[in-house]
Amino acid sequence: MNDSNSDKKKTNETDETSAKEFAIEIVDLHKSFKSNRVLKGLNLVLAKGENLVVLGKSGTGKSVLIKCVVGLIEPEEGSLTVLGENVLELKDKKLNDLRKKVGFLFQSAALYDSMTVRENLKFPLRTDPSIEEDEKEALVKEALENVGLLDAIDKMPSELSGGMRKRVGLARTLILKPAVMLYDEPTNGLDPITSREISKLITDVREKYKTSSIIITHDIACAKITADRIVVLKDGVCLTEGTFEELQNSEIPEVRAYFE
Amino acid sequence: MKNNNRNKIKLGIFVTIGLALFILGIYLIGDKQKMFNNTVTISGIFKDVSGLQVGNNVRFSGITIGVVENIEIVSDSAVRVDFSIDEQTKKFIKKNAKITIGSDGLMGNKVAIIIPGTAGNKEIQDKDFLITTVPVSMDEILAKLKTTSNNAATITDDLAAMTHSIRSGKGTVGKLFMDTVFADNLDKTLVNIKQGAGGFKNNMDAASDNFLLRGFFKKKKKNREKDKEKK
Amino acid sequence: MDSSKKKAIHEDEDNGPWFPMLFSFFSEMTSLTLFTAKYCKNLFIPPYEINELLKQCYFVGYRSLPLVGITGFIMGLVLTIQSRPTLSEFGAESWLPAMVAVSIIREIGPVITALICAGKVGSGIGAELASMRVTEQIDAMEVSGINPFNYIVVTRILATTLMLPVLVVFSDVIALAGSFLAVNINGEVTFTLFFSQVIDSLAFSDVFPSFIKTFFFGFAIGLIGCYKGYNTDKGTEGVGLSANSAVVLSSLLIFVMDMIAVQITDLLF
């Protein structure tokens, strides 16, 4: 109790500076679904330009965590600061503006089934009247080129393989040139080779778009490629954190389990 | 994109046809109710309209020539009904034409019926009032039935008095029935008539045996047998 | 400890299945009302998704026309053939076109068309939205800064609300064509006579109430389809469940609305 209180004070004092240093700051986050408490006072910080991997077993609230970050799920308690703005206090318009700066790659890629790849990519741009049609086309091509799928531009999502769908999904989030990327199990359901390609792509994205990212995964191979820092979740709180090498030598049995 | 535009055109055609059909339907139904562009209004005062409604047809010689436009109660025993009728039929309706209310078939709607006036009268004008004849209503039939039964009661009363006086032998008829001497006379007369008829029969038999008339009677007999065979 | 547990179980049994059922019914009603309120609010909030609306109108209206046309035609045909014996018993066969026209325009056209659309469009919307929800497409729209409610829900409800009346007009006309054919199977009635009998038998008070109620039927189909699809929560299984309950609930709602409409029509006309 005391600890979290002092934490809060600290964040209040350093609000100005944290906005510059941190892309995301999560303090004492609580969320439960009916009687099931998923997040129990989670604290997490994402520095600018950092690739943070969040490891955890299924049901430890990893997905809930990043859905809270973009305001898809409303937590019961705690504070959430993304790019210097308090997500929980933002209303429709401002929340949408913030969301455009935060890219979110869904587990299932979430491509719009009824649209071609081109229309899928243009979709996030549609509300922006300042961009001309030609410009949109150029942006679509650029984003697709960055994920290496330019020739799939006129295909329907149902014609794409799992890995291609993930890449198109990634291209769709990148088209808005986000400052923060959230990846929800990017390698889930893919073969090891495709997984590695996607993981490499995540590091490429950081280079090209200068993003800070949170990568939710339980795939240790992916974590090895992408992670600057790894946080391990257990029972709705942070168990431990460190670089890949640090965790590899960790003595905690839950952490060791990932490396065996 | 091209596909998209084609779909839009299809949708446009679809909606346009749908709306056109709807408007056409509305127009036709409205047209029926206001079929006549140039109309004249005539009115009639009724005691009872027996369920006539605004919008009911007006018939003249069995042809629908207009509609009931308005119905309003003007006093405790008068209902004013305005009819809007086709101007072209005006010339056939004379000033002494009558309006009555009938119904369209056994269970059909009420209709106003204009009974043509007699030739030589002037034709009606706009805003004229026509003579109305009262439609026969059930109440009236009942009222008539009541007077009939009242009359019947008086008749039976008289009849009872009459039979009473007959029985007591008063008056001519009473004598006729009650006087025994008269009855005897009548009996004798009947016997006489019977005897007279018997004599006539003998005469006739004799005639049929007579050779002059035999052929006629035989022919008659033959014809009768032929008819029997046919049956 | 043991006895209290038993007691608890006992209490549950006492309440029977009624309590949870009632609870879920009322909570469902609340969320449906809120959903409707949100629709009404978002209807007037930009962005107005005109292109998506037209696309949905195309799917709901134009694509349903063949189905609605065929059912309408059969409806008119069958109704006429079935009514003939009864009417001819009264010697009122000449009333056939009038009777069929009134029953088609007033009741059967709107209700059958609405039910067919509830089956075709309602289930389609329910399943589509549910699968969008399950595969996180709705979430994806939301995080890319697009209001998914305006884009998905408002357009679909508006499309069904606007397109159903048009479909009913087509269905009515086609049903009357079917009736004309049926009248001509036994006996000859010229088109002109049939047409004038139909028009003669109809009044504005037949056409307008039934036209107005079709808007509500369309609204019900879209609303229930979207509500069930948008709020699905049981994964892939929920897709089928949403489609199913969308059809059931919207069909039921159509009948309830029809009942209310009859009462109102009775009062006003």
Residue A220 pLDDT > 80 = yes
Containing domain of residue A237, as a range? 49-73+99-259
Query: What's the pLDDT band for C6 if we cut at 50, 70, 90?
Result: very low
Q: Tens digit of pLDDT for each residue in B45-89? A: 888 887 887 878 888 888 888 888 888 888 888 889 888 888 888
Q: Which residues contact B85 (CB under 8 A, 6 or more apart)?
A: B36, B39, B40, B41, B42, B58, B60, B65, B66, B93, B114
> Do the domain assignments include residue A85?
no
> Do the domain assignments include residue A19?
no
Q: Name the CA radius of gyration of chain A, rounded.
A: 19
Q: Tens digit of pLDDT for each residue in A101-125? A: 888 888 888 888 888 888 888 888 8
Asked if A173 lies within 8 A of C144 by C-beta distance, the reply is yes
CB A24 within 8 A of CB A69: yes
Q: Tens digit of pLDDT for each residue in C35-56? A: 999 999 988 887 788 888 999 9
Q: What is the DSSP string of C207-262?
A: HHHHHHHHHHHHHHHHHHHHHHHHT--SHHHHHHHHHHHHHHHHHHHHHHHHHHHH
Q: Pairing relation of β-strands A22-33 and A36-47?
A: antiparallel
pLDDT for the residue numbered A9: 42
Beta strands (DSSP E) in chain B are: 39-46, 57-60, 63-75, 78-86, 98-103, 110-115, 128-132
CA C112 to chain centroid, in Å, comes to: 9
d(CA A203, CA A222): 10
CB B77 within 8 A of CB B46: no
Testing the interface with C: which of B17, B21, B22 to mutate, by most C Cβ within 10 A? Answer: B22
Is the model's pTM score more than 0.80? Answer: no
Asked if B18 lies within 8 A of C202 by C-beta distance, the reply is no
pLDDT for the residue numbered C186: 75
Tokens of B228: 């029997």
How many other C-beta atoms lie within 10 A of the C-beta of residue A187? 26
Task: For residue B98, give how far its alpha carbon lies from the nearest alpha carbon of chain C (Å).
Answer: 26
Tokens of C173: 């006309």
Testing the interface with C: which of A82, A112, A172 to mutate, by most C Cβ within 10 A? Answer: A112
Closest by CA to C116, choosing from C176, C59, C72, is C72
Residue A18 pLDDT > 50 = no
- CATH label of the domain that carries residue A67: 3.40.50.300
How many Cβ pairs within 8 Å bridge chains A and C? Answer: 58
Nearest residue on chain C to B14, alpha-carbon basis: C62
Average pLDDT, chain C: 87
Q: Tens digit of pLDDT for each residue in B115-174? A: 887 877 888 888 888 888 766 666 677 788 888 999 999 999 999 988 888 877 777 777
Asked if C58 lies within 8 A of B26 by C-beta distance, the reply is no
pLDDT for the residue numbered B1: 53
Tokens of C103: 């029953």
Nearest residue on chain A to C135, alpha-carbon basis: A110
Q: Domain spans of chain C?
A: 49-268
Query: What's the pLDDT band for C17 if we cut at 50, 70, 90?
Result: low
Lowest mean pLDDT among B179-183, C65-69, C120-124: B179-183
Ranked by mean pLDDT, which of A70-79, B172-181, C175-184 comes out on top? C175-184
pLDDT for the residue numbered C14: 52
Query: Phi and psi for A148 in degrees, rounded to 5?
Result: 70, 35
Average pLDDT, chain A: 80
Closest by CA to B85, choosing from B39, B131, B120, is B39
d(CA A153, CA A171): 11
pLDDT for the residue numbered C1: 39
Task: Give chain A's length.
Answer: 260
pLDDT for the residue numbered A243: 84
> Do the domain assignments include residue A213?
yes
Chain C contacts to B (CB-CB under 8 A): 54-55, 57-58, 61-62, 65, 165-167, 169-170, 173, 199-200, 202-204, 207, 211
Q: Tens digit of pLDDT for each residue in C93-112? A: 778 888 999 999 999 999 99
Query: What's the pLDDT band for A90 if we cut at 50, 70, 90?
Result: confident
CA A227 to chain centroid, in Å, comes to: 13
Query: Phi and psi for B53 in degrees, rounded to 5?
Result: -125, 160
Percent of chain A with pLDDT over 90: 0
Residue A222 pLDDT > 50 = yes
Q: Residue A217: helix, strand or coil by DSSP?
A: strand
Residue A61 pLDDT > 50 = yes
C-alpha atoms less than 13 angstroms from C-alpha of C120 in its C-beta half-sphere: 21
Residue A74 pLDDT > 60 = yes
Per the structure, the count of domains in chain A is: 1
Read off the DSSP letter of residue C91: T
Residue C216 pLDDT > 90 = yes
pLDDT for the residue numbered B87: 81
Q: Tens digit of pLDDT for each residue in B18-36? A: 999 999 988 888 776 665 5
Closest by CA to A4, choosing from A186, A238, A175, is A238
Q: Tens digit of pLDDT for each residue in A165-188? A: 888 888 888 888 888 888 888 888
Q: Tens digit of pLDDT for each residue in B173-203? A: 777 677 777 778 888 888 888 888 888 888 8
Query: What's the pLDDT band for A12 if we cut at 50, 70, 90?
Result: very low
How many Cβ pairs within 8 Å bridge chains B and C? Answer: 52
- Whether B29 contacts chain C with CB within 8 A: yes
Q: Pairing relation of β-strands A229-234 and A212-217?
A: unpaired
pLDDT for the residue numbered B35: 54
- Whether A107 contacts chain C with CB within 8 A: yes
Predicted complex ipTM: 0.79
d(CA B174, CA B165): 7
Q: Tens digit of pLDDT for each residue in C220-261? A: 999 999 999 998 887 788 899 999 999 999 999 999 999 999
